[in-house]
């Protein structure tokens, strides 16, 4: 049984159809990336999965007992509010100290519990949001453009951490991203969304599909060729099981929420 299944899902907001006819399955252990142009419904789909948006029709079935962790695009914190990382993670309810330590370690930021949230760098704060999402050891981790505002190195480090989390927890990951190197290196499957599912499959299959090219243009062919070159070198130069560094200078998809 899949962790999550969506069948002919429709979402209407303010009288406007935002998503229509969405069919999607998520299985434990896979990383799936949503790509699509502005206004394509990517964030709305995540909100429907967590229950923040009510579908107009269709079926959304979660595996019984499914635990979901969610990392938003951004979260505004009042800079005048004194709050340590530990206190932030304990909202709205307290967690055992060991649970907090384990979440921070899994997010790649051990020892930051006593730091003031407002003193953190952008990359550190995104890791704190990741740690918060990992507190319950989720079966499904949702990331809504969680690296927005990070530089290339910060983005690559963040998604390498996501790969480690997937290996440790065996969870599924569904992420919204506009970074081509993330889609190509970190994803088992890519879903191209434009209110409906235009195409889905392996990254190579999606990038070569007519539906994808119609949305993002023919330049994606060159980007795919660059990826294959960098990908082959990375796997040749690094032993099996060792995370290879993300390609540098990779063309970015002109897509966002």
Residue with tokens 């949305």: 215
Residue with tokens 């032993």: 239
pLDDT in the model for residue 222: 54
pLDDT in the model for residue 220: 57
Among 75-79, 99-103, 168-172, 237-241, the least confident range:
237-241
Let me know: does 226 contact 250? Beta carbons within 8 Å.
Answer: yes
Let me know: does 9 contact 48? Beta carbons within 8 Å.
Answer: yes
Cα separation of the two ends of the chain: 30
C-alpha distance from residue 85 to each of 19, 127, 132, 243 (Å)? 36, 11, 10, 28
pTM given for the model: 0.84
pLDDT in the model for residue 76: 82
Sketch the domain layout of the chain as residue ranges.
1-67+138-152+169-257, 74-136
pLDDT in the model for residue 179: 77
The CB density around residue 236, as the number of other CB atoms within 10 Å, is 8
Determine what percent of the chain is predicted with pLDDT higher than 70.
84
pLDDT in the model for residue 233: 47
CA pair distance 183, 199, nearest whole angstrom: 14
> What letter would DSSP give residue 8?
E
Average pLDDT value over all residues in the chain: 85
Which tens digit of pLDDT belongs to each residue from 130-171? 999 999 999 999 999 998 878 888 888 898 999 999 999 999
Q: Is the pLDDT of residue 240 over 70?
A: no
Q: Is the pLDDT of residue 248 over 90?
A: no
The architecture of the domain spanning 1-67+138-152+169-257 is 3-Layer(aba) Sandwich (3.40)
Q: How confident is the model at residue 243 (pLDDT cuts 50, 70, 90)?
A: very low
CA pair distance 13, 24, nearest whole angstrom: 20
Residue with tokens 């990254």: 203
User: 240 or 134: whose pLDDT is higher?
Assistant: 134
CA pair distance 136, 106, nearest whole angstrom: 12
């Amino acid at each position: 049984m899949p962790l999550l299944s969506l069948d002919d899902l429709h979402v209407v907001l303010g009288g406007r159809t935002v998503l229509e006819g969405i069919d999607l399955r998520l299985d434990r252990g896979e990383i799936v990336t949503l790509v699509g142009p502005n206004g394509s419904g990517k964030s709305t789909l995540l909100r429907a999965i967590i229950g923040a948006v009510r579908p107009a029709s269709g079926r959304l079935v979660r595996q019984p007992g499914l635990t979901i962790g969610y990392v938003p695009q951004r979260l505004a914190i009042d800079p005048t509010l004194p709050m340590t990382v530990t206190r932030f993670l304990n909202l709205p309810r307290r967690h055992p100290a060991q649970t907090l330590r384990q979440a921070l370690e899994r997010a790649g930021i051990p020892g930051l519990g006593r730091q003031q949230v407002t003193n953190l760098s952008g990359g550190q704060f995104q890791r704190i949001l990741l740690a918060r999402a990992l507190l319950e050891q989720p079966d499904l981790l949702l990331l809504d453009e969680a690296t927005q505002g990070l530089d290339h190195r910060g983005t690559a480090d963040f998604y390498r951490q996501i790969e480690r989390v997937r290996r440790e927890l065996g969870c599924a990951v569904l992420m919204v991203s506009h970074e081509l190197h993330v889609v190509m290196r970190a994803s088992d499957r890519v879903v191209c969304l434009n209110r409906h599912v235009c195409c889905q499959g392996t990254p190579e299959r999606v990038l070569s599909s007519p539906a994808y090219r119609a949305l993002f243009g023919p330049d994606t062919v060159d980007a795919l060729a660059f990826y294959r070159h960098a990908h082959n070198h990375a796997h040749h130069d690094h032993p099996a099981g060792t995370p290879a560094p993300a390609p540098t200078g990779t063309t970015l998809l002109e897509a966002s929420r």
